């Protein structure tokens, strides 16, 4: 695994997502299914997309007591997803429990990555609401180290943090990075963005790309352009 483009399927219904995926006849993209689609359509949507030959990153960001996370991860593992995630804020014992739950009888398991601090959390909110008074980049790296210590495979982070995560946790530790835009494309509501080519240079292992592909006039062409710029 490693070095792939993950298409964020941020749709709210089965019709919309299937209509989108029908466009891909040759190479079936690795897709991300988030809370919106999962809560709307249930686990069946994961099974159906998997049956069509796609790899799946199930982005549900679990965060609860270790026992609940362990049991929930066991359910997700049986859905045969390829990647899933949780909040590192749940602490190391919660992350270890997640790995136990995910691990199948034959020893295999989906890739498990951690969300560190959400990119929507500012230094100010972190200090005032969460009473965390360290610089946010230090907090992010510390959470990444905790995730590594717990046995996770990587973190979701900004492409601009990927290099530092690799320096801190090693090159084998995956960085999964959203916030990717084509050099000639629209930025939308993302603030700190980078191109697929630049993400490759920086060392991202997986880029998560939504609207530059889902809203493109020709989504297949946009996906292939991402693959060329990031993977070749
Ligand atoms: O459409 P766009 O390319 O901005 O989509 C990026 C995807 O990555 C969305 O599904 C978004 O929720 C997700 N994401 C993000 N920033 C984070 C974590 C996840 O944009 N820090």
For residue range 102-142, list pLDDT tens digits in order.
Answer: 999 999 999 999 999 998 889 999 999 999 999 999 999 99
Looking at the 3D structure of the chain, how many domains does it have?
Answer: 1
CA max distance for the chain: 50
As a whole-number percent, the residues of the chain with pLDDT over 90 amount to 91
For ligand 1, atom 19, name the residue with the nearest CA: 178
CA atoms within 13 A on the CB side of 77: 21
Best substitution site from 5, 6, 8 to test ligand 1's pocket, by max atoms within 8 Å of Cβ?
8
Tell me which H or E stretch contains 83: strand 83-87
* Distance between Cα 200 and ligand 1 center (Å): 18
From the CA of 211, give the closest atom in ligand 1: 1
Pocket, ligand 1, Cβ cutoff 6 A? 8, 10, 34, 119, 156, 178-179, 190, 208-212
Kindly state the DSSP code that residue 29 receives in the 8-state scheme.
Answer: P
Residues belonging to the active site: 61
Q: Could you tell me which residues are beta bridge partners of residue 129?
A: none
Q: Provide, for the chain, the percentages of residues in helix, strand and coil under a 3-state DSSP scheme, each rounded to the nearest 5.
A: 45, 15, 35
pLDDT at residue 2 is higher than 80: no
Question: pLDDT higher for 186 or 139?
Answer: 139
Per the CB < 8 A criterion, the answer to whether 83 and 56 are in contact is yes
Q: Which pair of structure tokens corresponds to residue 35?
A: 């809370």
Pairing of strands 111-115, 30-34: unpaired
pLDDT at residue 190 is higher than 60: yes
Average pLDDT, the chain: 95
Contact partners, residue 203, CB within 8 Å, separation at least 6: 162, 163, 166, 171, 175
* Distance between Cα 34 and ligand 1 center (Å): 10
* CA–centroid distance for 231 within its chain: 17
Q: What is the domain extent for residue 35?
A: 4-231
* CA–centroid distance for 132 within its chain: 24
Best substitution site from 60, 178, 187, 204 to test ligand 1's pocket, by max atoms within 8 Å of Cβ?
178
Position 160 scores a pLDDT of: 83
Position 80 scores a pLDDT of: 95
pLDDT at residue 175 is higher than 60: yes
From the CA of 157, give the closest atom in ligand 1: 21
Nearest to 202, CA basis, from 212, 211, 192: 192
Kindly state the DSSP code that residue 13 receives in the 8-state scheme.
Answer: S
From the CA of 209, give the closest atom in ligand 1: 3
* Distance between Cα 5 and ligand 1 center (Å): 13
What's the Cα-to-Cα distance from 133 to each of 114, 125, 189, rounded to whole Å? 21, 10, 27
What's the Rg (C-alpha) of the chain?
17
For ligand 1, atom 18, name the residue with the nearest CA: 178
Position 54 scores a pLDDT of: 98
Position 104 scores a pLDDT of: 96
Phi/psi at 115 (nearest 5 deg)?
A: -85, 130
pLDDT at residue 1 is higher than 80: no
Q: What is the pLDDT of residues 45-71, one digit of tens each?
A: 999 999 999 999 999 999 999 999 999
Mean pLDDT in residue range 12-36: 96
Q: Which CATH number is 174's domain given? A: 3.20.20.70
**How far apart are alpha carbons 152 and 96 in whole angstroms?**
8
Per the CB < 8 A criterion, the answer to whether 216 and 222 are in contact is yes
For ligand 1, atom 13, name the residue with the nearest CA: 178
* Distance between Cα 193 and ligand 1 center (Å): 11
């Amino acid at each position: 695994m490693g070095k792939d483009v993950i298409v964020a399927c941020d749709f709210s219904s089965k019709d919309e997502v299937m209509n989108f995926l029908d466009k891909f006849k040759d190479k079936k993209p690795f897709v991300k299914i988030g809370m919106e689609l999962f809560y709307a359509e249930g686990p069946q949507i994961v099974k159906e997309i998997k049956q069509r030959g796609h790899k799946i990153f199930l982005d549900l960001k679990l965060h609860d007591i270790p026992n609940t996370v362990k049991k929930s991860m066991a359910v997700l593992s049986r859905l045969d997803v390829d990647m899933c995630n949780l909040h590192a804020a749940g602490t190391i014992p919660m992350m270890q429990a997640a790995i136990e739950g995910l691990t199948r009888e034959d020893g295999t398991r989906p890739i498990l990555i951690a969300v560190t601090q959400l990119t929507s959390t500012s230094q100010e909110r972190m200090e005032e609401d969460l009473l965390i008074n360290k610089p946010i980049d230090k907090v992010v790296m510390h959470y990444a180290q905790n995730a590594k210590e717990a046995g996770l495979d990587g973190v979701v982070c900004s492409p601009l943090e990927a290099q530092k995560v690799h320096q801190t946790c090693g090159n084998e530790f995956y960085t999964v990075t959203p916030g990717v835009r084509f050099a000639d494309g629209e930025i939308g509501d993302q603030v700190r963005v980078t191109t697929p080519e630049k993400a490759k240079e920086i060392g991202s292992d997986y880029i998560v790309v939504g609207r530059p592909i889902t809203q493109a006039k020709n989504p297949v062409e946009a996906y292939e352009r991402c693959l060329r710029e990031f993977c070749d």
